[in-house]
Amino acid sequence: MNMTYQRLNSEKLLEILSLSDNATAIYTGADIVIQSANEAMLKFLGKDKSIIGMRFAEAVPELVGQPFIGQLQEVWSTGKTYSAYDTVAELMINGKLEKSYFDFKYRAIKNDNGEVYCILHTATDVTERFLNRISLKEIQIREQSLIEELAASNEELTTTNEELLAMNDKLSDSAEEQVHARKDLEKLTDTLQQAMNSAQLGIWSAELVTGKLTISELGKQIHGIADDKEISLEDAKKMIDPDFLDKIISTVRKAINSDHNFELEYIIFPADGSKSKWLKCTGKTYFNPQNKPAAISGIIRDITEQKQDELRKNDFIGMVSHELKTPLTSLKGYVQLLLSKSKKQEDSFAVNALSKVEIQVSKMTAMINGFLNLSRLESGKIHLQKQDFDIDVLIEEIIDDARITTINHIITLHPCEKLIVNADRDKIGQVISNLLSNAVKYSPKGRSIEVNCHLNNEMAEISIKDEGMGIKPQDVDKLFERYYRIENKHTEHISGFGIGLYLCSEIVVRHKGKIWVESQSGVGSTFYFNLPLSTA
């Protein structure tokens, strides 16, 4: 059967086209006049049918400045179809500028002569697909960077792990070292303990705030305390001979305040009622983190035997000195007798020789007196016989005596005000005489020695200044110790026993005075001592 079809006119065709779900529009002319736009296209453009017949630029003004109008004009003039995908367009939808993404085509429709007579615009909204793809991409990118970050941190972790392993190795090394160190320390402590035991040294430690006393086993034995018994600082104090307490307390206090070590010798009456003992105790202050004195700790030693030896030695020295004094006194008497006889006979040779003998005898007497005093001091037999006297007069007398034996030095006494002191005149005389003879002994011939005396802080202060070899600072503190002598090439030919200054110091301190020295090596020294004035 033959079928004939009626051809649809262009308006009909456009009407049918407008029903399509695909967005479609037809434009003509270089101005791009909208000939037709179906519902779907109008929706994309956010417009209504009123735009049909209008120029594209007027109908959709928000697209001016975007590439589309230019592209349409290009298609019109060149006849070349233009397609694009995922292209963003900003359109005014319900009064709001919105971004949408499109796949679209501007197809140039030509007549038989190849001339463009309209442009067919088809478009698909791909916003959703596009955004999905974008977010997928973003996710992928993020995942990628996450993977990269993970890889980096993994690498870091590996390095850290390696470092940790190395550290662990080191730690186990140092733990091993610590074990070794602890063993070494234990060994050392053992050796120290053994050494302390064989040296018969006890250790003690006292907490200053609580008064808690800790004593080693040997320390307890020394004090006659049972091993399992504890004693307090107060209990220990009660065992000390009261004669020594004041000195102990002041020495320890001084040591705490000045952060110095201390050394003390004293007698105790042990807790078990055994015989009294001489102890030597050394100590040191320990400070807490706030730098406050927290404890004192040190070593104690029973020095009874040593003390007894010393006492025996002192007794012996005392005895010998005493025995020597009698012949020496008679020797001195005879020398003085002969000297005066020789002077009368004007026998200059004998006068000269006997004067020298007299000087030597005086020196020997001074030495013997020194030993005698030392031995008396040590055995506690030194007694002060105090009386009121004018110190100035005594100084003058001593200087006069010294001048007899001092030929090569000039001794000057500066006028002194009348100062009455209450003291043992003989012993203070010995102090002045000792200081004067040292000034002579330790300074070159021809140098002057100046003696001064004045009132200072309610005390009579006496000073003896020389221009001698002086004393180095490191020796100054030790000068007043028993048997201390400075050994150097200047002193090697100067005789002495190192007891003179010790005696001076003991005598002055027993008078509640003070003795000290100011000196500059190579320039000279000034020895000072002071005494309380008489209160009468």
Interaction site with ligand ADP (CB under 6 A): 438-439, 442, 466, 468-469, 471, 479, 484-486, 491, 496-502, 525
Q: Please state the closest distance from residue 312 (CB atom) to ligand ADP, in A.
A: 23
Tokens of 419: 């100062």
Q: Please state the closest distance from residue 257 (CB atom) to ligand ADP, in A.
A: 28
Task: Give 225 or 317: the residue with its C-beta nearer to ligand ADP.
Answer: 317
Task: Give 283 or 468: the residue with its C-beta nearer to ligand ADP.
Answer: 468
- Are residues 218 and 200 in contact, defined by beta-carbon separation less than 8 angstroms? yes
Q: Please state the closest distance from residue 429 (CB atom) to ligand ADP, in A.
A: 16
Task: Give 27 or 502: the residue with its C-beta nearer to ligand ADP.
Answer: 502
Task: Give 215 or 471: the residue with its C-beta nearer to ligand ADP.
Answer: 471
Sign of the four-CA dihedral 335, 341, 343, 348: negative
Task: Give 21 or 492: the residue with its C-beta nearer to ligand ADP.
Answer: 492
Instruction: Considering only CA atoms, give the Rg of the chain.
Output: 59
Task: Give 350 or 364: the residue with its C-beta nearer to ligand ADP.
Answer: 364
Task: Give 38 or 505: the residue with its C-beta nearer to ligand ADP.
Answer: 505
Q: Please state the closest distance from residue 370 (CB atom) to ligand ADP, in A.
A: 8
For residue 133, which of 103, 106, 98 has the smallest C-alpha distance? 103
Q: Please state the closest distance from residue 200 (CB atom) to ligand ADP, in A.
A: 31
Q: Please state the closest distance from residue 465 (CB atom) to ligand ADP, in A.
A: 9
From CA 531, how far away is CA 423, in angstroms rounded?
8
Task: Give 351 or 499: the residue with its C-beta nearer to ligand ADP.
Answer: 499
Task: Give 184 or 477: the residue with its C-beta nearer to ligand ADP.
Answer: 477
From CA 82, how far away is CA 103, in angstroms rounded?
11
Q: Please state the closest distance from residue 478 (CB atom) to ligand ADP, in A.
A: 9
Tokens of 343: 């002077």
Q: Please state the closest distance from residue 445 (CB atom) to ligand ADP, in A.
A: 14
From CA 516, how far away is CA 494, in angstroms rounded?
22
From CA 395, how far away is CA 401, in angstroms rounded?
10
| Residue with the shortest CB distance to ligand ADP | 496
Tokens of 236: 């220990």
Q: Please state the closest distance from residue 442 (CB atom) to ligand ADP, in A.
A: 3
> DSSP characters for 488-524?
STTTTTS---S-HHHHHHHHHHHTT-EEEEEEETTTE
Task: Give 334 or 497: the residue with its C-beta nearer to ligand ADP.
Answer: 497
Torsion of CA 471, 472, 475, 479, to 10 degrees: 10
From CA 239, how far away is CA 234, in angstroms rounded?
9
Q: Please state the closest distance from residue 433 (CB atom) to ligand ADP, in A.
A: 11
From CA 396, how far away is CA 390, in angstroms rounded?
10
Task: Give 104 or 529: the residue with its C-beta nearer to ligand ADP.
Answer: 529
Cα angle 442, 479, 382; round to 5: 105
Half-sphere exposure of 307 (CA within 13 A, CB side): 15
For residue 199, which of 183, 222, 171, 232 has the smallest C-alpha distance? 222
For residue 107, which of 21, 27, 18, 7 has the smallest C-alpha distance? 27
Cα angle 313, 262, 242; round to 5: 65
Tally Cβ neighbours within 10 Å of residue 242. 9
Q: Please state the closest distance from residue 402 (CB atom) to ligand ADP, in A.
A: 14
